[in-house]
Structure 1
Amino acid sequence: MTMPALTPAEAGAVLRRRRERRGMSQEQVAAALNLRSANYLSYLETGKVNVARSKYLAPLAELLHLSAEEMQAIAPALRLSLPIAPPMPDALREAIAEYGDKFPELRDPDWQETLAGARFRGGGPETPADWLDYYRFIRRYTRPLGSG
Protein backbone atom coordinates (compact mmCIF):
# COMPACT_ATOMS: atom_id res chain seq x y z
CA MET A 1 0.00 0.00 0.00
CA THR A 2 1.42 3.36 -0.99
CA MET A 3 1.09 6.55 0.98
CA PRO A 4 -0.03 9.76 -0.71
CA ALA A 5 2.92 11.66 -2.12
CA LEU A 6 4.07 14.96 -0.74
CA THR A 7 3.11 17.97 -2.80
CA PRO A 8 5.91 19.30 -5.01
CA ALA A 9 6.45 22.18 -2.55
CA GLU A 10 6.62 19.79 0.43
CA ALA A 11 9.03 17.48 -1.43
CA GLY A 12 11.15 20.48 -2.36
CA ALA A 13 11.28 21.53 1.29
CA VAL A 14 12.63 18.08 2.16
CA LEU A 15 15.41 18.54 -0.41
CA ARG A 16 16.24 22.02 0.88
CA ARG A 17 16.46 20.83 4.50
CA ARG A 18 18.70 17.90 3.58
CA ARG A 19 20.94 20.14 1.43
CA GLU A 20 21.26 22.67 4.24
CA ARG A 21 21.90 19.91 6.76
CA ARG A 22 24.80 18.74 4.60
CA GLY A 23 26.08 22.32 4.56
CA MET A 24 25.88 22.55 0.77
CA SER A 25 24.84 25.51 -1.33
CA GLN A 26 22.55 25.18 -4.32
CA GLU A 27 25.56 25.93 -6.50
CA GLN A 28 27.55 23.07 -4.95
CA VAL A 29 24.71 20.61 -5.50
CA ALA A 30 24.25 21.85 -9.07
CA ALA A 31 27.96 21.37 -9.76
CA ALA A 32 27.95 17.88 -8.22
CA LEU A 33 25.03 16.88 -10.47
CA ASN A 34 26.43 18.65 -13.55
CA LEU A 35 23.41 20.93 -13.80
CA ARG A 36 23.84 23.97 -16.04
CA SER A 37 22.80 26.27 -13.20
CA ALA A 38 21.43 26.24 -9.68
CA ASN A 39 18.10 27.60 -10.96
CA TYR A 40 16.79 24.10 -11.63
CA LEU A 41 17.57 23.08 -8.07
CA SER A 42 15.80 26.22 -6.87
CA TYR A 43 12.76 25.22 -8.91
CA LEU A 44 12.84 21.73 -7.33
CA GLU A 45 13.16 23.15 -3.82
CA THR A 46 10.27 25.59 -4.28
CA GLY A 47 7.98 23.04 -5.94
CA LYS A 48 7.92 24.77 -9.34
CA VAL A 49 9.29 21.48 -10.72
CA ASN A 50 8.05 18.20 -9.24
CA VAL A 51 11.11 16.40 -7.86
CA ALA A 52 9.25 13.06 -7.94
CA ARG A 53 9.21 13.33 -11.74
CA SER A 54 12.70 14.74 -12.16
CA LYS A 55 15.42 12.67 -13.78
CA TYR A 56 17.66 14.03 -11.03
CA LEU A 57 15.72 12.39 -8.18
CA ALA A 58 18.04 9.38 -7.84
CA PRO A 59 21.29 11.41 -8.02
CA LEU A 60 19.85 13.92 -5.54
CA ALA A 61 18.80 11.13 -3.20
CA GLU A 62 22.32 9.71 -3.27
CA LEU A 63 24.11 13.06 -2.95
CA LEU A 64 21.89 14.33 -0.13
CA HIS A 65 21.62 10.92 1.53
CA LEU A 66 17.83 10.95 1.58
CA SER A 67 16.41 8.32 3.89
CA ALA A 68 14.10 5.58 2.71
CA GLU A 69 11.26 7.34 4.54
CA GLU A 70 11.98 10.63 2.74
CA MET A 71 12.08 8.86 -0.62
CA GLN A 72 8.81 7.06 0.17
CA ALA A 73 7.18 10.39 1.02
CA ILE A 74 8.51 12.12 -2.10
CA ALA A 75 7.69 9.34 -4.56
CA PRO A 76 5.60 6.55 -2.98
CA ALA A 77 5.30 4.47 -6.15
CA LEU A 78 9.01 4.64 -6.96
CA ARG A 79 11.27 1.81 -5.92
CA LEU A 80 14.91 2.78 -5.60
CA SER A 81 17.67 0.91 -3.92
CA LEU A 82 19.70 3.45 -2.02
CA PRO A 83 22.98 2.51 -0.41
CA ILE A 84 22.75 2.40 3.37
CA ALA A 85 26.23 3.82 3.81
CA PRO A 86 28.87 4.62 1.25
CA PRO A 87 31.84 2.26 1.19
CA MET A 88 34.92 3.65 2.90
CA PRO A 89 38.00 3.89 0.66
CA ASP A 90 41.07 2.10 2.02
CA ALA A 91 43.14 5.29 1.95
CA LEU A 92 40.49 7.07 4.04
CA ARG A 93 40.52 4.20 6.54
CA GLU A 94 44.32 4.55 6.70
CA ALA A 95 44.01 8.34 7.20
CA ILE A 96 41.66 7.78 10.13
CA ALA A 97 44.10 5.33 11.72
CA GLU A 98 47.13 7.57 11.06
CA TYR A 99 45.68 11.02 11.85
CA GLY A 100 42.73 10.25 14.12
CA ASP A 101 44.62 11.07 17.32
CA LYS A 102 45.56 14.54 16.10
CA PHE A 103 42.18 15.12 14.39
CA PRO A 104 39.61 13.29 16.57
CA GLU A 105 36.72 14.33 14.29
CA LEU A 106 38.07 11.80 11.79
CA ARG A 107 36.97 9.08 14.21
CA ASP A 108 33.41 10.45 14.27
CA PRO A 109 31.10 8.15 12.26
CA ASP A 110 29.20 11.17 10.88
CA TRP A 111 32.41 12.66 9.48
CA GLN A 112 33.49 9.27 8.15
CA GLU A 113 30.18 8.87 6.29
CA THR A 114 30.45 12.42 4.97
CA LEU A 115 33.98 11.87 3.69
CA ALA A 116 33.25 8.41 2.27
CA GLY A 117 30.16 9.73 0.48
CA ALA A 118 31.99 12.54 -1.30
CA ARG A 119 31.84 12.47 -5.08
CA PHE A 120 34.69 13.79 -7.17
CA ARG A 121 34.99 14.68 -10.82
CA GLY A 122 38.20 13.39 -12.30
CA GLY A 123 39.26 11.39 -9.24
CA GLY A 124 39.57 12.20 -5.58
CA PRO A 125 41.97 11.75 -2.71
CA GLU A 126 44.20 8.74 -3.23
CA THR A 127 46.51 8.70 -0.22
CA PRO A 128 45.91 9.10 3.51
CA ALA A 129 47.60 12.53 3.33
CA ASP A 130 45.27 13.53 0.45
CA TRP A 131 42.23 12.51 2.57
CA LEU A 132 43.53 14.55 5.49
CA ASP A 133 43.98 17.58 3.24
CA TYR A 134 40.45 17.14 1.86
CA TYR A 135 38.99 16.79 5.37
CA ARG A 136 40.84 19.88 6.62
CA PHE A 137 39.52 21.85 3.64
CA ILE A 138 35.85 20.82 3.82
CA ARG A 139 35.45 21.00 7.59
CA ARG A 140 35.47 24.78 7.24
CA TYR A 141 32.44 24.68 4.94
CA THR A 142 30.56 21.50 5.77
CA ARG A 143 28.87 19.94 8.76
CA PRO A 144 29.05 16.15 8.91
CA LEU A 145 26.02 14.01 8.20
CA GLY A 146 23.89 13.47 11.25
CA SER A 147 24.74 16.83 12.81
CA GLY A 148 22.31 19.71 13.10
Structure 2
Amino acid sequence: MTVDDSTSKAPPLEGARYAVTRAAAAALAGAACGLVLAWLLASDAQCEASLQAQKGSGFGCFGGAIAVSVFLRFLSFPVAWLVLRCLNVRPAWAVALLGALVSPSTFVLAGSLLGERGSSAPVWFVVSAFAVSYTSSALLVAPRLRLPYRAVAGVVMLGVVAVAQPWF
Protein backbone atom coordinates (compact mmCIF):
# COMPACT_ATOMS: atom_id res chain seq x y z
CA MET A 1 0.00 0.00 0.00
CA THR A 2 1.46 3.38 -1.01
CA VAL A 3 0.82 6.79 0.44
CA ASP A 4 -0.17 9.51 -1.99
CA ASP A 5 1.88 12.65 -1.29
CA SER A 6 -0.92 14.99 -2.31
CA THR A 7 -3.27 13.70 0.41
CA SER A 8 -0.77 13.42 3.25
CA LYS A 9 -0.76 16.15 5.87
CA ALA A 10 2.07 18.64 5.94
CA PRO A 11 4.46 18.54 8.89
CA PRO A 12 3.79 21.26 11.50
CA LEU A 13 6.84 23.32 10.58
CA GLU A 14 5.85 23.38 6.93
CA GLY A 15 2.30 24.41 7.85
CA ALA A 16 3.62 27.21 10.06
CA ARG A 17 5.99 28.38 7.34
CA TYR A 18 3.09 28.33 4.88
CA ALA A 19 0.91 30.44 7.20
CA VAL A 20 3.66 32.97 7.89
CA THR A 21 4.52 33.31 4.20
CA ARG A 22 0.87 33.69 3.25
CA ALA A 23 0.26 36.25 6.01
CA ALA A 24 3.35 38.26 5.03
CA ALA A 25 2.29 38.35 1.37
CA ALA A 26 -1.21 39.43 2.32
CA ALA A 27 0.18 42.11 4.63
CA LEU A 28 2.24 43.40 1.70
CA ALA A 29 -0.86 43.56 -0.50
CA GLY A 30 -2.77 45.32 2.25
CA ALA A 31 0.09 47.75 2.73
CA ALA A 32 0.03 48.52 -1.01
CA CYS A 33 -3.68 49.31 -0.82
CA GLY A 34 -3.08 51.33 2.34
CA LEU A 35 -0.39 53.39 0.60
CA VAL A 36 -2.76 54.20 -2.25
CA LEU A 37 -5.44 55.23 0.23
CA ALA A 38 -2.95 57.29 2.27
CA TRP A 39 -1.92 59.10 -0.91
CA LEU A 40 -5.58 59.83 -1.71
CA LEU A 41 -6.21 61.03 1.84
CA ALA A 42 -3.13 63.27 1.78
CA SER A 43 -4.16 64.89 -1.49
CA ASP A 44 -7.66 65.42 -0.09
CA ALA A 45 -6.21 67.02 3.05
CA GLN A 46 -4.05 69.35 0.93
CA CYS A 47 -7.12 70.38 -1.03
CA GLU A 48 -9.07 71.10 2.15
CA ALA A 49 -6.18 73.12 3.59
CA SER A 50 -5.88 75.23 0.45
CA LEU A 51 -9.63 75.89 0.43
CA GLN A 52 -9.57 76.98 4.07
CA ALA A 53 -6.63 79.30 3.37
CA GLN A 54 -8.59 80.90 0.53
CA LYS A 55 -11.77 80.95 2.63
CA GLY A 56 -13.49 79.10 -0.15
CA SER A 57 -16.62 77.06 0.14
CA GLY A 58 -18.65 74.76 -2.01
CA PHE A 59 -17.67 71.50 -3.58
CA GLY A 60 -14.02 72.27 -4.30
CA CYS A 61 -12.64 69.10 -2.65
CA PHE A 62 -15.58 66.84 -3.29
CA GLY A 63 -13.60 64.91 -5.90
CA GLY A 64 -11.09 63.77 -3.27
CA ALA A 65 -13.85 62.38 -1.07
CA ILE A 66 -15.32 60.56 -4.06
CA ALA A 67 -11.91 59.13 -4.96
CA VAL A 68 -11.40 57.83 -1.41
CA SER A 69 -14.87 56.31 -1.35
CA VAL A 70 -14.48 54.68 -4.77
CA PHE A 71 -11.08 53.27 -3.85
CA LEU A 72 -12.33 51.83 -0.56
CA ARG A 73 -15.33 50.20 -2.14
CA PHE A 74 -14.26 49.16 -5.62
CA LEU A 75 -10.60 49.58 -6.48
CA SER A 76 -8.92 48.02 -3.45
CA PHE A 77 -10.11 44.58 -4.59
CA PRO A 78 -8.36 44.55 -8.00
CA VAL A 79 -5.21 46.22 -6.63
CA ALA A 80 -4.91 43.65 -3.84
CA TRP A 81 -5.81 40.78 -6.17
CA LEU A 82 -3.05 41.77 -8.57
CA VAL A 83 -0.43 42.02 -5.81
CA LEU A 84 -1.54 38.73 -4.23
CA ARG A 85 -1.53 36.99 -7.59
CA CYS A 86 2.02 38.20 -8.26
CA LEU A 87 3.08 36.93 -4.82
CA ASN A 88 1.59 33.47 -5.51
CA VAL A 89 -1.10 33.58 -2.83
CA ARG A 90 -3.88 31.23 -3.82
CA PRO A 91 -6.86 31.77 -3.83
CA ALA A 92 -5.98 35.41 -4.40
CA TRP A 93 -9.52 36.46 -5.22
CA ALA A 94 -10.89 35.26 -1.86
CA VAL A 95 -8.18 37.05 0.14
CA ALA A 96 -8.61 40.25 -1.89
CA LEU A 97 -12.39 40.19 -1.60
CA LEU A 98 -12.43 39.60 2.16
CA GLY A 99 -9.68 42.15 2.71
CA ALA A 100 -11.51 44.75 0.64
CA LEU A 101 -14.70 44.16 2.61
CA VAL A 102 -13.07 44.26 6.05
CA SER A 103 -10.39 46.94 5.59
CA PRO A 104 -12.76 49.95 5.73
CA SER A 105 -14.16 48.64 9.02
CA THR A 106 -10.66 48.13 10.41
CA PHE A 107 -9.64 51.62 9.32
CA VAL A 108 -12.72 53.24 10.88
CA LEU A 109 -12.51 51.23 14.11
CA ALA A 110 -8.82 51.82 14.67
CA GLY A 111 -9.24 55.48 13.79
CA SER A 112 -12.05 55.94 16.27
CA LEU A 113 -10.09 54.17 19.01
CA LEU A 114 -6.97 56.24 18.39
CA GLY A 115 -8.79 59.52 17.78
CA GLU A 116 -7.82 59.80 14.10
CA ARG A 117 -10.39 60.87 11.54
CA GLY A 118 -10.21 60.42 7.78
CA SER A 119 -7.68 62.67 6.12
CA SER A 120 -5.82 63.44 9.36
CA ALA A 121 -4.69 59.82 9.73
CA PRO A 122 -0.92 59.30 9.39
CA VAL A 123 0.42 57.03 6.66
CA TRP A 124 1.64 54.33 9.06
CA PHE A 125 -1.86 54.14 10.53
CA VAL A 126 -3.59 53.62 7.19
CA VAL A 127 -1.00 51.07 6.03
CA SER A 128 -1.21 49.15 9.32
CA ALA A 129 -5.02 48.98 9.27
CA PHE A 130 -5.03 47.58 5.76
CA ALA A 131 -2.18 45.16 6.46
CA VAL A 132 -4.03 43.72 9.48
CA SER A 133 -7.22 43.30 7.45
CA TYR A 134 -5.57 41.50 4.58
CA THR A 135 -3.46 39.34 6.89
CA SER A 136 -6.49 38.12 8.81
CA SER A 137 -8.39 37.46 5.58
CA ALA A 138 -5.45 35.45 4.20
CA LEU A 139 -5.36 33.31 7.32
CA LEU A 140 -9.12 32.82 7.26
CA VAL A 141 -9.21 31.38 3.73
CA ALA A 142 -5.89 29.49 3.88
CA PRO A 143 -6.66 26.00 2.58
CA ARG A 144 -3.86 24.17 4.45
CA LEU A 145 -4.16 25.97 7.77
CA ARG A 146 -5.81 24.10 10.64
CA LEU A 147 -9.35 25.00 11.52
CA PRO A 148 -8.70 26.51 15.00
CA TYR A 149 -6.28 29.07 13.55
CA ARG A 150 -8.71 29.93 10.78
CA ALA A 151 -11.51 30.26 13.34
CA VAL A 152 -9.47 32.75 15.38
CA ALA A 153 -8.88 34.87 12.27
CA GLY A 154 -12.60 34.72 11.47
CA VAL A 155 -13.63 35.74 14.97
CA VAL A 156 -11.20 38.67 14.88
CA MET A 157 -12.59 39.80 11.53
CA LEU A 158 -16.22 39.49 12.63
CA GLY A 159 -15.45 41.31 15.87
CA VAL A 160 -13.82 44.20 14.03
CA VAL A 161 -16.73 44.54 11.63
CA ALA A 162 -19.33 44.29 14.41
CA VAL A 163 -17.63 46.85 16.63
CA ALA A 164 -16.88 49.26 13.77
CA GLN A 165 -20.45 49.47 12.46
CA PRO A 166 -21.64 52.25 14.83
CA TRP A 167 -18.83 54.53 13.60
CA PHE A 168 -19.77 54.29 9.92
TM-score (norm 1): 0.30
Q: By percentage of residues, which structure has more helix? A: 2
Larger Rg: 2
TM-score (norm 2): 0.27
